[in-house]
Structure 1
Amino acid sequence: MTAASDGVARPALAEGAAEVGRRVRELRERRGMSLSELARRAAVGKATLSGLEAGTRNPTLDTLHAVATALDLPLTALLSTPAALRGTAVQVEVLRVFDDGPVTYELCHLRIPAGLAQRSPAHHAGVTEHLTVFTGVLEGGPVDAPMRAGPGVHVEWPADVPHAYAAVGGDDVLASLLIRSPRTR
């Protein structure tokens, strides 16, 4: 897979970073976890996490994933409302979150511009991703075993390992992404 063209880590949120920060603090405190402990578990700098909680930093998608994983929660648990998120290559619009007892499902619209790729860190244990491609050709899945899918093809993989997404060829990838996250607490 190729790297994103400029490799620049961009803020994940167009708006609402302060709300996300308040939510992170609330979830951390609810678990009786110190800022230092969450920073250590998420492998995120304490100053970065402090700025996120204070609402003075707009986190990257990787930071949000790391914090959610360290809290054993789906990414959308950090958001107060469905949101549009962006990484170095992927653009994700959260359409709906379904809580179904011991499992949370996050339904998203995914866009990857042609020629770009992005690596995603492992989610918490038991998370799976289910992706259906509408346009373009996707190369995605676990970093050590990527799959290709074109229009109309469904692929799924364990997302509790590092995984990646790439739009190969000349067309953007447009797809639906369903993330299944078991509750661990």
Structure 2
Amino acid sequence: MPHPTVPRDTVAALVGESGCGKTTLARIAVGPETVDGGTVTVGGTALPAGRRPDTADRRRLAEQAQIVFQDPYSSINPLRTVGSALREALTAATGRRGREDTSGAEVRTLLEQVGLPASYASRRPAALSGGERQRVALARAPAARPRLLICDEAVAALNVSVQAQLLNLLAPLQRSEGFAVLFITHVLGVVRQIADRVAVMHQGRIV
């Protein structure tokens, strides 16, 4: 079987039963988990089997891939404002040091891309609904200008109407930024709505 790939400008859905390894694969792609064997390459960075990426590789991975997790309540630092979280992502992407170097216009643009008003920059996560927090998470990940955005059950904790709103935001965001998407889900209705291609995982293997 050819190596599964997620090409640029493509949404690839990864489906499979709980415990089959979907989230582990996502964590391998962004660095916290290691691959036992075989080959995994993220944006030109080949991940070593049997050991964690070194500092240089982790830095390259952060530039290549970003992830949006399932839980919108733990994905944002509750002590920081939305604007601060987005400025941090922009600073990491550009290498700029001071907050003053990252303009309010850039933060405003990120919020507008996910359907939130600029005034949300001054809010803290506790003042947001679950759907709004996930919109902020969706805005923050592309701020780093990744080549690959991984959504790990990113809409599973939300009600159906909020799920639909977020999924409708993803397509134009992908088109404008040009990244690939690996969308991990167990909901086939979501797959039908967004996926260009589908991979099925069973017991740690793409089948």
TM (norm. structure 2) is 0.29
Task: From the CA coordinates, give the structure whose radius of gyration is larger.
Answer: 2
Higher relative contact order (CA 8 A, sep 6+): 2
TM (norm. structure 1) is 0.32
Q: Which has the higher strand share?
A: 1
Q: Which has the higher helix share?
A: 2
